[in-house]
Amino acid sequence: MTQIAYMTRESWAQDGTSMVRQSAVIRQWLGGPTYIFATSDSKKFNGQNSADKEFVNYIALRSGSRQIMLISELQRLIRRDEHFNGTIIVLHPYKEDDCELLRKPIEGNHVSRLFVIVWSPTDMVRFWLDGVGASNLDAVLERKAFDATQLEAARCMVSEQYNGLSTGNGKAAVVQLIRAFTAADYELNKESWLTALFAAGGKFWHAESVSKLISEMQKGTAHRVKQRYRPEILSILQERASTVPSESTQ
């Protein structure tokens, strides 16, 4: 099972006051060099004012203690069904394809350890990291366990991914489930739903659909969808969640 950790850029930098201290925290988790960094774009990495290169320079203090690769090269591990017995440091992943290339090696246990420096706390990759149980190296408090009933609802959404979640039955499932929870005083926010979706095995491109639907619901959009579940779906999921072992909701 892959060990995963992350830190957000703002937690690392803190307005330029904490890069040295936070880099030491990250190195402690990483272990000794050589450090392998994965970037999405080698041209941008080598460009002026590169945020990726700035982070690398703080982590790998000597130029000989670093190796640079493209995130897309992770596809080779997946395709060959190989396992890399080391640590890969991923630099500010944002594009959907790059994020999927992080999800697949973790799902298939193709790499031993993964660290991600996240550009923004609201980036989709951050919700994925929390969903798969990554350690936030800057967190003061322990990560909360998922709401077991919400996790069951997310599993229902994931079971509809084959249809897509932006239209048709998939959209209907997402909208009805979120409405049922909102009516029961659950907060309508992206963080809890997207984290639960990833914990249930959701994929990035479907998470984008859920994110968009939540944004529309927050603005008051009344989606017209077919009935996918019985009116008492929340009670059904609560009962189902009560029979699930507690380990699966962590």
Domain limits, the chain: 3-136, 148-242
Per-residue pLDDT, 244: 74
What integer pLDDT is reported at residue 246 of this predicted model?
58
pLDDT given for residue 248 in this prediction: 52
Check residue 79 and give its pLDDT: 86
For residue 66, the model assigns a pLDDT of: 94
User: What is the structure's pLDDT at 141?
Assistant: 59
pLDDT for the residue 197: 98
Q: Which amino acid is present at 132?
A: V
The residue type at 198: F
The pLDDT value recorded for residue 20 is: 96
- Helices and strands: H and E segment counts in the chain: 12, 6
Measure the CA angle with vertex 221, ends 216 and 223; round to 5°: 100
Can you give the pLDDT of all 250 residues of the chain as single tens digits? 899 999 999 999 998 899 999 999 999 999 989 999 999 999 999 999 999 999 999 999 988 899 999 999 999 888 888 899 999 999 999 999 999 999 999 988 999 999 999 999 999 999 999 999 999 999 765 677 789 999 999 999 999 999 899 999 999 999 999 999 999 999 999 999 999 999 999 999 999 999 999 999 999 999 999 999 999 999 999 999 998 775 554 5
pLDDT value of residue 43: 92
Note the CATH number of domain 3-136. Answer: 3.40.50
Q: To the nearest 10°, the Cα dihedral for 223, 226, 228, 230?
A: 90
* Per-residue confidence (pLDDT) for residue 64, from 0 to 100: 86
> 181 and 189 in contact (C-beta within 8 Å)?
no
For 96, counting Cβ atoms within 10 Å of its Cβ (0-12 exposed, 13-18 middle, 19+ buried), the class is middle
| Structural element, H or E, at residue 117 | strand 111-118
Neighbour-count burial of 220, counting CB atoms closer than 10 A to its CB (0-12 exposed, 13-18 middle, 19+ buried) = exposed
- Burial class, 55, CB count within 10 angstroms (exposed 0-12 / middle 13-18 / buried 19+): buried
Distance CA 194, CA 102 (A): 17
